[in-house]
Amino acid sequence: MIIINPMAPLAIYSEKVMHMFRGCKSEDMPPHIYSLAQSTYRSMLTSRRDHSILLLGRSGSGKTTNFKHILHYLVLTVGSVNKVLTIEKINSISIVLEAFGNARTIMNSNATRFTQIFSLNYDQAGQIASASIQLLLMERSRVVHRPDGEPTFHIFYWLLAGVEGALRKELYLEHLSNEPNLFTTPLHKHEDKQKAILDFARVCSALSVLGVSNTEVKAIWSVLAAIYHLGIAGSVKADNSNTVRWQFSNPQSAQRAASLLGTTSEELSHCLFGEDNSTPRTSFPTSSPTDRLLDRDLTPLEMLEGMVVGLYGEVFNAIAALINRSISPVVHTVSSLMVVDCPGFQNPASCGHQGGATFQDMCHNYLQERLQLLFHQTNIVAPRDRYAQEHIELKCDDLAENEIYSPNPLVSLLDRTSQNVMIRTSQPDLRDVDRWGLLWLLDEEAVYPGACDEGFIERLFMHYRDRDHQLLLRKAPGTNQFVLHHLQGTNPVMYTATGWLKASRENPMARAAVALLHESTKDDISKLFVSIKGPSISSTLGSSVVGMDGTQSLRRASSIRRTFTTGTAGIKRKSVSLQVKFTVDGLIETLRRTKLKFIHCFLPHHNAGLTDLHNSVLKNNSSSLNADDLLINVPLVRSQLRGAQILDAVRLHKQGFPKFLPLSEFRRRFLLLAPPDGRPTSPILDERKAAEDILRGMELDLTSYRVGMSQAAHKQLWSRALLACRGRVRSRHSILGFCRGQSCIGEELVRDRMCGGKVLML
């Protein structure tokens, strides 16, 4: 399905329209997000197989909006047991996750900065018995580092503007100073402050709907306020000592942060800065000598940033655990439907930003490339392999296999593992088996003390300077810059690799922050964050699968948990780049086990994601809006069509035979339509010949079907027409049988109902 961001609310998304699609068959529904949700739900019921809906596209193309439409439809039209999941809860979950996980970027006024898997688990009756969320690849570093002109997560601005009364005093926010803050900037416009106040009230109300207690909410606000005060506290070199020592530049703000976290300013200072510059600031029993040496290279400011990143990561994990507690009862379920939403392709240059994409942007783009490769394998490679396996000839000369049209070469450039041990060398003529992917090169380069970003760029081009990779990777004119040609070359993204080596290494203070919260003297803080401690590796990866243990219906997602707990290479090495790869591997493995449905969201023009800004301009002065922003950028849409391989998939679907049915099942279901003299009278020994005889006797168009070695393949419309004809014949036979006192047709219907619910397809 293809959806173009309309950039405005439309009347076609309403409760009334949802009820129009409820219970309909695929052939009875027009193209709509609700029709895809309904057909997926119907397919899950008939097959008793887990299904997934994936949303792909560039940032700002409307993936999260359509993600909400799908959930609203499934919850409203199907319903849940004991109201475990309601529309009110769905809205509350969206409000909370957008507050803590979304931010404004150069491409999107409300950009999602994490990957979300929302699982709906169904019982025997087809109702929602439980649900769960899994949050992956959270961009925690945005709390301390972000591109120029981009703010941090929404919740900080909403908290500072919206908290009031005694709570504001307890958080030491009653008199906000004008002192510079390392991690956030204040709101200046009056209308922005008023909107932030309303948004904060919405978040508080949403947390209440989800059953979060006042003490738990207060614990979350305390940690966020502590992050704000740590941004003011900063760090500075002490002048009153002969040794090199560091301290907080604003001791009063540091004292406030320590008080909110349930510790003392002395303990906080010692945790961050140590006794002196020669004393390790943190110690982990499992740290290797190399790890300890690299950790000592961190500056006091970087240690402070690591602490803040760790604190916010735990807050985000707590939010996930509290949501799962509200919607995940321990029940038995038979099938699941997963809806996956992730950050879109990041290309800041498309919106005029010349600074280049960041390491976090590269991680999000890597996930999008992997999902596009999954689409390619599911809709192009798998059907062709199936035709070959069934010895079905398919005339598609314009769909000849060619690696240049597959996402696989670029994915391999990013994550391939060499067959040999990695050796740091300057040898220019590397064999193909010696090449390592970008993520592995980044991890390897970050291990060596004294390594620099320039050295990483040099090694990257040493591995991929040959002609075969020039269409995928090229140098950019700026320092530490390179260009990757994503989506079959339709979306070239320029990256700036400055700071990537440090970004790919876990900051040790991220784990220290976890211990700090667990050992807090404030009971509400320690109880909350100890309760979410589980098998997840949220402290290192910024991912959350917490709050889900013991729930039988959630064990279908065990491959993601298993990847977190057994893909230990990246965790032991404290490598963020490898953790990203292992997390994506786990996600892809989980999705492969399900029946996949893809939704491609397109941008009508490059600035379509800045919807709120456009709407405000229209309200104030419609004449100031560029006319080009109101029209569809046709070359951009064509580029997205080519990059997503939509035309290739559609052409293969149209020229091929997408519907398959085992020969024995085909004979059983459609023998009724064959002429009486064409029906076999003896036991069937050759199912293929029997199917051919049935089809030959029906005098059907030979271009609409093929008989393979074990299955019959046919066109979509041919299948619907055949089923409709079969239904009419069976109805006529039922009437005749009833008049004659026969019940054979009724017995056949009973057998159909016992065969996996296939009667629903009639």
Name the nearest CA neighbour of 210 among 91, 326, 86, 329. 326
Q: Which residue has the tokens 């790890």?
A: 291
Q: Is 64 annotated as a binding residue?
A: yes
Q: Is 62 annotated as a binding residue?
A: yes
Instruction: Report how far Cα 198 is from the mean position of its chain's Cα atoms.
Output: 28
List residues bridging with 660 in a β-sheet: 713
- Half-sphere exposure (Cβ direction) of 707: Cα atoms closer than 13 Å: 19
**Contact assessment for residue 5 and residue 600, using Cβ atoms and an 8 Å cutoff:** no
List residues bridging with 584 in a β-sheet: none
Distance CA 513, CA 224 (A): 13
Distance CA 598, CA 385 (A): 20
Q: Is 757 annotated as a binding residue?
A: no
**Contact assessment for residue 314 and residue 87, using Cβ atoms and an 8 Å cutoff:** no
Side chain identity at residue 638, one-letter code:
R
3-state secondary structure of 336: strand
Q: Is 395 annotated as a binding residue?
A: no
Pairs from 77-80 (Cβ < 8 Å, separation ≥ 24)? 77/18, 77/19, 77/21, 77/22, 77/23, 77/38, 78/41, 78/122, 78/126, 78/127, 78/128, 79/127, 79/128, 80/127, 80/128, 80/129, 80/131
Query: Per DSSP, which regions of 582-690 are E strands?
Result: 595-602, 659-662
Direct distance between the N- and C-terminal alpha carbons of the chain, in angstroms, rounded to an integer: 24
Distance CA 257, CA 266 (A): 12
User: What does the angle CA 691 – CA 693 – CA 694 come to, to the nearest 5 degrees?
Assistant: 65
List residues bridging with 237 in a β-sheet: 246
Question: From its phi and psi, is residue 97 left (phi > 0), alpha (psi between -120 and 50) or beta?
Answer: alpha
Question: From its phi and psi, is residue 279 left (phi > 0), alpha (psi between -120 and 50) or beta?
Answer: beta
Distance CA 94, CA 88 (A): 10
Q: Is 58 annotated as a binding residue?
A: yes
3-state secondary structure of 58: strand
Query: Per DSSP, which regions of 13-99 are E strands?
Result: 51-57
Distance CA 688, CA 704 (A): 17
- 684: Cβ contacts below 8 Å, ≥ 6 apart: 667, 690
Q: Is 455 annotated as a binding residue?
A: no
List residues bridging with 706 in a β-sheet: 713
Residue list, annotated binding site: 57-64
What residue numbers does the annotated binding site for ATP cover? 57-64
